[in-house]
A = this chain, B = another copy of it.
Amino acid sequence: MIQELKNNYGHLFENELLEEINTVATFKEVSEGNELIKPGSYIKSMPLIISGAIKILREDQDGDELLLYFLERGDTCAMTLSCCIGHHKSEIKAIAETDSKLIMIPVGKMEEWTAKYKSWRNFVFESYHKRLMEAIETIDSIAFLKMDERLLRYLKDKTKVNNENVVNNTHQEIAYDLHTSRVVISRLLKKLEVEGKIKLNRNSIKILSL
């Protein structure tokens, strides 16, 4: 594990901290579609993402969903951070977007490291900053954009996160992420196809130019 750690977090953390992480953390692999965090659950360890991508969703009381953002290599989950520290329940849902490798750090160590390592503090603060900014970008996109623009942005994010120019999702799945209906998504995707920006297939969307 230490090698994975050094490759992905070596530029952030000093050796001493890397060693400590190596001692107490556990390695975890998850497959696409696995639910990592349920809303309302308590969280006992914090993930550092080594590879893959994690989708973070908000769910309302009716079970309606909305995609908040993706976590990628080098990221951690700010919600988990604050849940751990403040002993709050999780307010979000996390699902593996692709097969992913994670390093899980037990809650107890975090407080200790925050006092001890400047690099850890910076990492934690930077993570919070990034998540807050992502949340605000999500707000921007819901508040200021129309559904067709949101869909475009969604497709762009997907290709970036999955690192390929094909989005392997059904229209229904996209509709859940954007909190709208399947018919609306089909309609808008068809429009994008007519404009020559994408090519529609069953269960997948090929991105031509966005």
**Chain A residues with a Cβ under 8 A of chain B:** 58, 60, 64, 66, 68, 78-79, 81-82, 85-86, 88, 91-92, 114-115, 118, 121-122, 124-126, 128-129, 131-133, 135-136, 138-140, 142-144, 179
**Interface contacts beyond A85-B125, A142-B143: sample of 11 additional A-B pairs, CB < 8 Å, sorted by A:** A66-B144, A79-B132, A82-B128, A86-B129, A92-B136, A115-B118, A115-B121, A124-B125, A132-B132, A135-B139, A142-B142
B129 A132 Cβ-Cβ under 8 A = no
Given A121-B115, A139-B139, CB of A88 within 8 Å of CB of B144: no
B132–A82 touching, CB < 8 Å: yes
A58 in contact with B179 (CB, 8 Å): no
Which of B68, B85, B91, B121 meets A133, CB within 8 Å? B91
Q: Are B58 and A139 in contact (CB under 8 A)?
A: yes
Does A126 contact B60, Cβ atoms closer than 8 Å?
Answer: no
- Contact of A128 (CB < 8 Å), options: B92, B121, B128, B139: B128
CA distance A78 to B129 in the complex (A): 8
Contacting pair A58 B114 (CB below 8 A): no
- Complex Cα distance, B127 from A82, in Å, reads 10
Return the contact of A142 from the options B68, B126, B139 (Cβ within 8 A): B139
B58 x A132 contact (CB < 8 A): no
Q: Which residue of B lies closest to A132 (CB)?
A: B132
Q: Which residue of B lies closest to A62 (CB)?
A: B144
Let me know if B132 and A78 touch, CB within 8 A.
Answer: yes
* Minimum CB–CB distance for A204 against chain B, Å: 26
